[in-house]
Amino acid sequence: MKIVVLVKHVPDAQFERHLSGPGHTVDRSESILSELDEYALEAALQISEANGGEKGGNTVIALTMGADGASNSIKKSLQIGASEGYHLSDPALAGSDAAATSLALAAAIQRIAQDGPVDLVIGGMASTDGETSLVPAQLAERLGWAYVGHAKSLDVNGATVAASREVDGFAETLEASLPAVVSVTDQINEPRYPNFKGIIAAKRKKTHPLALGDLGLEAASVGAAGSLTVLEDAQERPARTQGTIITDEGDAGIKLVEFLAAEKLI
Amino acid sequence: MAHVLAVITSPDGALKKNQRELLTLGRGLGDVSVALIGDDAAATEAATYGAAVTYTAPAAVSALGGSARAAFVAEAVSRSGADVVLLENGVAAKELAASLGVKLNAGVVTDVVSLSTDGAATKSVLAGSYTTVARARTAVAVYTVKAHAVEPSEAPVEGRTEAIDLPESAYGAAARITSREAKPATGRPDLADARIVVAGGRGVDGDFGPVEELADLLGAAVGASRVATDNGWIGHDSQVGQTGVVVSPQLYISAGISGAIQQKAGMQTAQVIVAINTDEDAPVFEIADFGIVGDLFTVLPQASEEIRRRRG
For chain B, say whether A230 makes contact (Cβ under 8 Å).
yes
3-state helix vs strand vs coil in chain A, percent to 5? 35, 30, 35
What residues pair up with B64 in beta bridges, in sequence order?
B176
Interface of A with B in 120-139 (CB under 8 A): 125, 128-138
Give the pLDDT confidence of B34-60 residue by residue, as tens digits: 999 999 999 999 999 999 999 999 999
pTM of the model: 0.93
Residues 32-71 on A with a CB inside 8 Å of B are 36
What gap in Å lies between CA B68 and CA B79, rounded to an integer?
Answer: 17
Q: Chain A residue with minimal CA distance to B281?
A: A245
Task: Say yes or no for a CB contact (<8 Å) between B301 and A173.
Answer: no
pLDDT at A169: 87
- Which of B248, A24, A30, A42 is closest to A13 using CA atoms? A30
d(CA A258, CA B309): 12
CA B310 to chain centre: 33
3-state secondary structure of A133: coil
Locate the chain A residue with the closest alpha carbon to B177: A174
When pLDDT is cut at 50, 70 and 90, the band that residue B193 belongs to is: confident
**Contact map slice: A 178-207 vs B, CB within 8 A:** 180, 185-187
- A·B CB contacts under 8 A: 267
DSSP secondary structure, A49-86, as one string: HHTTTGGGT-EEEEEEESSGGGHHHHHHHHHHT-SEEE
Q: B235 to chain A: nearest residue by CA?
A: A166
List of residues 6+ apart from B176 with CB closer than 8 A = A174, A175, A176, B63, B64, B65
How confident is the model over A81-137, as pLDDT tens digits? 999 999 999 999 999 999 999 999 999 999 999 999 999 999 999 988 888 899 999
Of A17, A129, A168, the CB nearest to B92: A168
Check pLDDT > 80 for residue B264.
no
Instruction: Please tell me the predicted confidence (pLDDT) of residue B77.
Output: 98
Average pLDDT value for chain B: 94
Q: What ipTM score was computed for the predicted complex, to two decimals?
A: 0.94
Helix (H) or strand (E) segment spanning residue A32: strand A31-33
Given an 8 Å threshold on Cβ–Cβ distance, is B177 in contact with A174? Answer: yes
pLDDT on residue A11: 87
Q: Which residues of B touch A19 (CB under 8 A)?
A: 125-126, 130, 132
Nearest by CB: B299 against A98, A252, A260: A252
CB contact under 8 A, A254 and B306: yes
Q: Which of A150, A246, A265 sits opposite B272 (nearest CB)?
A: A265
Contacts of B171 in chain A (CB under 8 A): none
Question: Binning pLDDT at 50, 70 and 90, where does residue B100 land?
Answer: very high
